[in-house]
Structures are given as C-alpha cells and as structure tokens.
Amino acid sequence: MIKLVPRGERSRAMAYMSPVFAGMLTLLTGGIFFATLGLDPLHALSVFLIAPVSDIYGIAELCVKAAPIMLCAVGLAVAFKAQVWNIGAEGQLLMGGLVGSAVALQFGEAEGFWILPTVLISGMIGGGLWGLLAAWLKTRFNANEILTTIMFNYIALYLLLYFVHGALKDPDGYGFPESALFSDAATLPILIEDTRIHIGILFALFASVSIWVLMQRSFIGFQIKVLGADANAAKLAGFKHKHLVWIAMVISAALAGLAGASEVTGPIGQLIPSISPGYGYAAIIVAFLGRLHPIGILFASILMALIYMGGELAQIELNLPLAVTALFQGMLLFYLLACDVLINFRIKLKTAATNAAMGN
C-alpha cells in the first residue's frame, strides 16, 4: 500500500524538482498516447518537441511565442503571490490588443518615434483597466476574482469581435473581419532579418527582471508577499490590503495588456479576431510551473511555446488535431499539481501486515 507521510517541513529540493518530474511524466504519457494512436512514440515526440526548433527560424519563432506567455506569466506571478487569483490574463491580453490596435489605427500612416510607445502604453492601460475592474469588484463588493476575471475574458473576446467586425474593420478589406495593416511606425522592429522575432521578447525579459527587483528588493513587493502568505499579519502590520490587491492586479493586467499590444503590433501587424491562441490561460500553467519566480517562468514559457509549436507541426506532419497542444498543457498542469503534493509529503510503501487488531 502506498501511503503519504507528512514531511514535517517543506522540501525545497522537491519544490524545484516537481516541475521537472511533471515535465518527464508528461513526456512519458505523451509517448504512450502517441503509441496508442499507432505512431512511433520517439518519432512523434521528436516531431513535437525537437523538430520545431531545429533551425534558426524555429528558434526565432519559439521566442515570438514565448514572449507573450512570459509577459502574462510574470505578471500573474505577482498577483498569485498576493493570493489574488487573476485568471483573466487572456481577457486583459485581448483588451490590450484591442485598445492598442484602436490607437495604432488612429495614426494612419503618420511617422514618429513616439507612435509605437503610445500604442504599447495604450495597450497596457487597456489591459490594466480591465484588470482593475475585477480588483474593484473584489475590494468593493467582495466579488470572487476567479469568477469575475473568467467572465471578463469572454466579455473582452466579444468586445474585440464587435470592433473587428465593426468600427475597426478595414474599409478596403473586402468585408473580411480584419483591421487595416498598421503602419511601420506602429509596428515592432524585427530583431533578426528574415524571421518574425521582434523586440517583444526584450520586453518580456525586461519585465522579468523588473518583477524580480520588485518582489525581492522593494517594500511593495515584500508587502504583496506578506499579504499572500498571511493576510492577518499584513493587517496587523498596517499594510493596506485594498491597495496591495489593486497594485498586484494592475501589474499583472498591464503586462498582459502589453503582451496583447505586442502581438498586434508584432507578428500579426493588424487586429484580427484571433490574436491569442489562449496565451493568457497557458500563462497560468507557466506561472505555477515556473514556481512564480521569473527565472523559472523564463524556462516554463519556452517549454509552453514549444508545446504550441509542436502542436502545429504535429498537425501537419502526423495528422493529429491541434487539440494535442491543449492535451499536453493539461497533462503538464495535472502532473505538476500531483507532484507538488510531494513538497509537503513523502511516499511511504508499507506492507499490509502492520494493521494489528486490538487485544483484550
């Protein structure tokens, strides 16, 4: 019989190893899954995980996909540290993309170095305000932010669809639900010629460093951590609960907004109905997989980006549906949660004979 025995103390080693175990278990299960579909598991896994990054274009593409995930996830890490469960990165990303696009389209073909920053900041504000709405509902009416942010995701999606089919639709676009292409001044510069890699990845890295400084060195970050770890201690110390919830929410939402604005001004270049294949949801998994730490999130974002690319390639080369991406994401989260049990518990194998009955 397998028994879980409390360790007595949190195992730090297991906290770091758990994502690794989860990754390996996901690979193993993925292999079994491919085998049952009649595919050679090793070949399928290599198509899924190695082939996508076998050339410079693939690596560049990996960065393109990792950037928005990383931006969302480092922001979510701040909110989650405060025990503010923002599930709404997707909606905040969409709002960032929508507001950013609306601003970018206003400039038309105008030139100027200030156009791009204006567009990006508008996206951050759009996403940030979308998050603040949920924060306000939480602190004012005690509305559960998990529910409100999920619902806001749908509202954001339909707002985006409304505008892309309406006010923001390209008048010369033959009726397709797409905006006009943004001007060069409102488009993110490409880093490497002939690839799609753009400076959005630098935003993501810069955001990671900033968040690390915020959480490790600043007093605000300290208060956020105390609030999350022990709300009563935070209250007794005089930390302002509402302010901290707002700050945590606005940081995570603004970064998601930046991710959205970077997508429309970067690889997409216009506003379209589907600007995110669920990056905001994937970022939740990434944030936990990365242990809410910027460095962990960096690696986890790359893995998640790889799963996105692998899913696309598996569709082409192996005739598998795109749902395989969601399947791998789900397995990863499932195994992570399961392995996390081992941080506080250890497995003890015991024989059945120890259950002695009472004498007398």
Which residues of the chain form contacts with another protein (CB under 8 A)? Answer: 6-10, 217-220, 222, 225-226, 229-230, 232-233, 235-240, 355-360
Write down the least CB distance from residue 290 to another protein, Å. 19
**24 or 213, CB closer to another protein?**
213
**1 or 236, CB closer to another protein?**
236
CA gap 306, 312 in Å, rounded: 10
**3 or 43, CB closer to another protein?**
3
List, in order, residues 6 or more apart from 312 with CB less than 8 Å away: 52, 322, 325
Cβ atoms of 5 and 346 closer than 8 Å: yes
Write down the least CB distance from residue 248 to another protein, Å. 16
State the DSSP H helix or E strand holding residue 92, giving kind and residue range, or none if neither. helix 89-106
Q: Which residue's structure tokens are 């216009």?
A: 270
Burial 192-203 (b: 16+ CB within 10 A, else e): eeebbbbbbbeb
Q: Is 70 helix (H, G, I), strand (E, B) or coil?
A: helix
C-alpha dihedral sign at 340, 344, 350, 354: negative
Write down the least CB distance from residue 215 to another protein, Å. 11
Q: Residues 46, 49, 50, 56: what is their CA dihedral angle, to the nearest 10 degrees?
A: 150
**232 or 319, CB closer to another protein?**
232
* Amino acid identity, position 182: F
**43 or 217, CB closer to another protein?**
217
C-alpha dihedral sign at 147, 67, 337, 277: positive
List, in order, residues 6 or more apart from 78 with CB less than 8 Å away: 211, 214, 215, 221, 224, 248, 251, 252
* Amino acid identity, position 306: L
Write down the least CB distance from residue 255 to another protein, Å. 20
**2 or 357, CB closer to another protein?**
357
Write down the least CB distance from residue 316 to another protein, Å. 47
**5 or 192, CB closer to another protein?**
5
Write down the least CB distance from residue 357 to another protein, Å. 7
Please tell me the number of Cα atoms within 13 Å of 19 on its side-chain side.
Answer: 20
**151 or 231, CB closer to another protein?**
231
DSSP string for residues in 254-300 = HHHHHHHHHHIIIII-S--S---SSHHHHHHHHHHHTTT-HHHHHHH
**223 or 270, CB closer to another protein?**
223
Write down the least CB distance from residue 82 to another protein, Å. 13
Write down the least CB distance from residue 250 to another protein, Å. 16
Write down the least CB distance from residue 235 to another protein, Å. 6
CA gap 70, 344 in Å, rounded: 28
